[in-house]
């Protein structure tokens, strides 16, 4: 069946835009389409063009199990669909665990024991004997489990198999919707499932598009920090020793210290009168004026990090054709933040000048301001805290209300969300409980639930699991409550933060996917999502439009997401040529 016939088939069966359409794609084989109780196998070498045609004709909500490993075939072909339902992503929302599989999701949706998942033996994926149980051309075994040979890749062997796989994805999505309807806030849970799935579309595009890198500048910065490109391993060892010697020379001749061993470094520092409990960077920075050795050690660490993690090997492995590419996920498995590999989320500040717009383009950077306390105001509905969000600097009205300095107010608010109740903000924290009782009550309720080992749920319906102390029996036998109390306190701190951080991550992704949808006409692309920050690559002539767009998209995202519409969310937006120019 050709593209036009497939589009006609879908158009006859799909009603309004946004209707579910199951799909399974394999380049070189074709695609399978499923709607209601009907399926269509399409054999084609270019399934992306069929998807593009259907997208233009009816704009469905594409339903699939998961993004493929490696470059996404749609993103790689430049096909940007508007809506999807990613079954594995929604499963993570429902169950609060990142590690999963199609087989496990299917089992859970059909009340099958997860520990009973069948495994594939020595037979090949397409062996007609299968497991000797039922028709091997059907993906579901008589016992209800998915056939392991299908899960392992057999689903994509033929267009007919692709169509059956698409039908299973459609069935799984329908079951997930019923489960989301059982959440305390079902409408919000459904909305989160849609935005989280759309975030996976963005992740696929981020993997293909990559982050623009000025390779010449990157090479210069790496050389400046870690030395020239090593000719061979012997030369690499020489450069490594030279970096070490810049530190050890301060000790004088004959002193052998392994700078990569924290115990050796602590002992070295004691020889110059610095007895420190650890060698963490923030602690060393407090003492960098006490002795030249400390400043040299801090410089060495930066050079060592670039050399070993972001040096020549990193450049060769991850930067190609002027783009840094890594794997992206819309959820980190805990509170739901986006994650990336290849250093995309940990690029040292020293290398940021290498992140540069290509000729004829600029970078538009948008950074959410004070997002977590503003989210706390929205989630809790605390009228006094909502009023504080009207200020560009939320911490200033809080400080005025508490009668403390802005810095103390900031530490107190963050401490309330992170579970820190000691130090100079302790008094202000007690003031928060009086001034903002509703907001503090929401945090305390989450902390109590977490301490008791109860899972908590974000406002968007994401389940955040608490862990169980695996030494509980030993504790009971020893009649010792110290560890039990410590574990409970840790769970409480985690729960109160995850409640807000998770909600902030959900708002961020609604914002990001809104920008993704609106940026297409400008020729703009999101090239980085970093915690609360978006980086767009924009044609020069559309820079002003992109700046307006990200602000309008934040207002739209906040309106759609926020349970308290009076909460004001803000973003600092700048236009730069290099990421390092953004303040």
Per-residue pLDDT tens over the stretch 386-430? 999 999 999 999 999 999 999 999 999 999 998 776 666 677 888
The answer to the question of residue 536 being in a domain is yes
273 found inside a domain: yes
- Cβ contact 461:179 at 8 Å: no
Angle at 349 between CA 347 and CA 352, to 5 degrees: 75
In a domain, 33, yes or no: yes
348 and 294 assigned to the same domain? no
Give pLDDT, residue 485: 85
* Within a domain: 203: no
Claim to verify: residue 407 and residue 307 sit in the same structural domain: no
Euclidean distance between CA atoms 517 and 274, whole angstroms:
55
**479 token code pair:** 């009649």
Average pLDDT in the chain? 91
Per-residue pLDDT tens digits for 350-375:
999 999 999 999 999 999 999 999 99
**263 Cβ neighbours under 8 A, 6+ residues apart:** none
pLDDT digit string (tens) for 32-78? Answer: 999 988 999 999 999 999 999 999 999 999 999 998 877 899 999 99
Name the 3-class secondary structure at 18: coil
Residue that is last in its domain, among 460, 476, 504: 504
Does 1 score more than 70 pLDDT? no
What is the domain extent for residue 163?
Answer: 3-180
d(CA 510, CA 404): 35
Structural domain includes residue 205: no
Lowest mean pLDDT among 211-220, 223-232, 250-259, 292-301: 250-259
| pLDDT at res. 423 | 64
**436 and 335 within one domain:** no
62 and 80 Cβ atoms separated by less than 8 Å: no
Place of tokens 């020489």: 238
Confidence band for 121, pLDDT divided at 50, 70 and 90: low
Residues 146 and 220 in one domain: no
Out of 137, 157, 180, a domain closes at 180
42 token code pair: 């399409």
Same domain assignment for residues 310 and 347: no
**Joined tokens for residue 7:** 């589009």
> CATH number, domain at 355?
3.30.70.370
Which ranges of 181-258 does DSSP label H, i.e. alpha helix?
Answer: 186-209, 215-226, 233-248
Contacts with 576 (C-beta within 8 Å, 6 or more apart), sequence order: 357, 362, 363, 365, 582
- Give the span between the Cα atoms of 118 and 150, in whole angstroms: 11
Whether residue 175 sits in one domain with residue 76: yes
Distances (CA, A) of 391 to 386, 402, 405, 408, 426: 10, 16, 16, 17, 24
> What pLDDT does residue 268 have?
93
pLDDT at 473 over 50: no
Phi, psi of 103, rounded to the nearest 5 degrees = -60, -40
Q: Is 536 within 8 Å of 527 (Cβ atoms)?
A: yes
DSSP string of 362-411, one letter each residue: EEEEEEEESHHHHHHHHHH--HHHHHHTTSSSTHHHHHHHHTS-HHHHHH
Q: How far apart are the first and last CA of the chain?
A: 54
Looking at residue 497, its pLDDT comes to 92
Domain CATH code at residue 42: 3.30.420
- Residue 105 backbone zone (phi > 0: left; psi -120 to 50: alpha; other: beta): alpha
- Helix axes of 482-519 and 543-561: crossing angle, nearest 10 degrees: 130
d(CA 39, CA 45): 19
Tokens of 460: 């968007």
Same-domain check for residues 134 and 231:
no
Q: Are residues 50 and 155 in the same domain?
A: yes
Is 421 found in the same domain as 309? no
Q: Note the pLDDT of residue 216.
A: 97
* 497 and 552 share one domain: no
Final residue in a domain of this structure, among 128, 156, 180: 180
Same domain, residue pair 391 and 465? yes
Q: How far apart are CA 452 and CA 476, in angstroms?
A: 16
Q: What is the average per-residue pLDDT within 152-160?
A: 96
Which of 100-114, 325-339, 412-426, 429-443 is the least confident region? 412-426
Phi, psi torsion values for 371, nearest 5 degrees = -65, -40
146 φ/ψ angles, rounded to the nearest 5 degrees: -75, 145
pTM of the model: 0.91
Residue 572 CA, chain-centre distance (Å), reads 21
Which three-class secondary structure state does DSSP give residue 273?
Answer: coil
Rounded-to-10 torsion of CA 130, 136, 141, 142: -110
Predicted confidence (pLDDT) at residue 255 exceeds the cutoff of 80: no
pLDDT value of position 477: 43
Q: Note whether residue 196 is domain-resident.
A: no
Q: Give the pLDDT score at 339.
A: 93
Q: Is there a domain that residue 201 lies in? A: no
Q: Look at residue 194 and give its three-state secondary structure.
A: helix
Whole-angstrom distance, CA of residue 384 vs CA of residue 524: 39
Residue among 56, 5, 1, 66 nearest 331 (CA): 66
What is the bridge-based pairing of β-strands 525-530 and 463-464?
A: unpaired
CATH of the domain at 393: 1.10.150.20
Q: Is 130 left (phi over 0), alpha (psi -120 to 50) or beta?
A: left
In a domain, 361, yes or no: yes
156 shares a domain with 14: yes
Give pLDDT tens digits for 484-524. 888 898 999 999 999 999 999 999 999 999 999 999 999 99
CATH classification of the domain holding 287: 1.20.1060
Burial class (CB in 10 A: 0-12, 13-18, 19+), 528: buried
Q: Flag whether pLDDT at 146 surpasses 70.
A: yes
Helix/strand/coil for 329:
strand
Question: Could you give the 3-state DSSP secondary structure of residue 123?
Answer: coil
pLDDT tens-digit profile of 437-449? 999 999 999 999 9
Q: Which of 201, 173, 199 is nearest to 64 (CA)?
A: 173
Q: How many domains does the chain have?
A: 4
- CB-CB contact of 562 with 554 (8 Å): no
Instruction: State the Cα–Cα distance between residues 166 and 41, nearest whole angstrom.
Output: 10
Per the listing, tokens 């902030």 go with 504
């Amino acid at each position: 069946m050709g593209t036009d016939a497939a589009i006609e088939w879908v158009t006859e069966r799909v009603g309004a835009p946004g209707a579910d359409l199951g799909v399974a794609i394999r380049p070189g084989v074709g695609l399978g389409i499923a709607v209601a109780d009907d399926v269509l196998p399409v054999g084609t070498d270019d399934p992306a063009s069929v998807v593009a045609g259907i997208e233009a004709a009816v704009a469905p909500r594409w339903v699939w199990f998961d993004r493929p490993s490696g470059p996404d075939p749609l993103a790689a072909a430049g096909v940007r669909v508007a809506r999807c339902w990613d079954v594995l992503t929604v499963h993570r929302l429902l169950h609060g665990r990142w590690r999963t599989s199609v087989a496990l999701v299917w089992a859970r949706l059909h009340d099958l024991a997860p520990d009973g998942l069948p495994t594939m033996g020595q037979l090949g994926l397409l062996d007609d004997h299968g497991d000797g149980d039922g028709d091997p051309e059907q993906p579901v075994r008589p016992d209800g489990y998915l056939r392991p040979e299908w899960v392992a890749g057999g689903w994509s062997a033929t267009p007919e198999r692709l169509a059956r796989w698409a039908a299973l994805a459609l069935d799984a999505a329908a079951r997930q919707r019923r489960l989301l309807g059982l959440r305390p806030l079902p409408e919000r849970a459904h909305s989160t499932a849609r935005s989280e799935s759309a975030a996976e579309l963005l992740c696929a595009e981020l993997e293909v598009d990559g982050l623009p890198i000025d390779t010449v500048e990157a090479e210069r910065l790496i050389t400046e920090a870690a030395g020239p490109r090593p000719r061979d391993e012997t030369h690499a060892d020489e450069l490594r020793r030279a970096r070490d010697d810049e530190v050890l020379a301060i000790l004088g001749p004959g002193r052998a210290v392994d700078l990569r061993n924290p115990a050796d470094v602590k002992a070295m520092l004691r020889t110059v009168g610095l007895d420190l409990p650890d060698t963490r960077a923030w602690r060393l920075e407090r003492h960098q004026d006490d002795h030249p050795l400390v400043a040299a050690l801090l410089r060495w660490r930066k050079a060592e990090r670039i050399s070993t993690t972001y040096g020549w090997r990193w450049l060769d492995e991850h930067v190609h054709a002027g783009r840094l590419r890594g794997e992206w996920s819309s959820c980190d498995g805990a509170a739901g933040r986006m994650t990336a590999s290849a250093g995309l989320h940990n690029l040292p500040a020293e290398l940021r000048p290498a992140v540069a717009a290509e000729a004829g383009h600029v970078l538009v950077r948008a950074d959410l301001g004070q997002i977590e306390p503003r989210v706390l105001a929205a989630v809790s509905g605390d009228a006094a805290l909502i009023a504080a969000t009207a200020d560009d600097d939320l911490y200033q009205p809080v400080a005025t209300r508490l009668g403390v300095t802005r810095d103390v107010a900031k530490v107190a608010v963050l401490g309330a969300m992170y579970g820190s109740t000691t130090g100079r903000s302790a008094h202000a924290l007690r003031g928060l409980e009086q001034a903002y009782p509703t907001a503090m009550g929401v945090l305390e309720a989450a902390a109590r639930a977490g301490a008791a080992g109860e899972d908590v749920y974000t406002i968007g319906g994401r389940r955040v699991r608490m862990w169980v102390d695996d030494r509980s029996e030993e504790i009971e036998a020893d009649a010792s409550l110290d560890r039990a109390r410590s574990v409970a306190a840790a769970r409480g701190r985690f729960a109160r933060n995850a409640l807000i951080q998770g909600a902030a991550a959900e708002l961020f992704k609604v914002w990001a996917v809104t920008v993704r949808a609106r940026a297409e006409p400008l020729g703009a692309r999101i090239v980085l999502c970093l915690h609360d920050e978006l980086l767009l690559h924009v044609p020069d002539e559309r820079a002003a439009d992109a700046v307006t767009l990200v602000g309008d998209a934040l207002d739209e995202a906040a309106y759609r997401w926020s349970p308290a519409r009076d909460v004001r969310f803000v973003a600092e937006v700048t236009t730069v040529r290099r990421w390092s120019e953004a303040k």
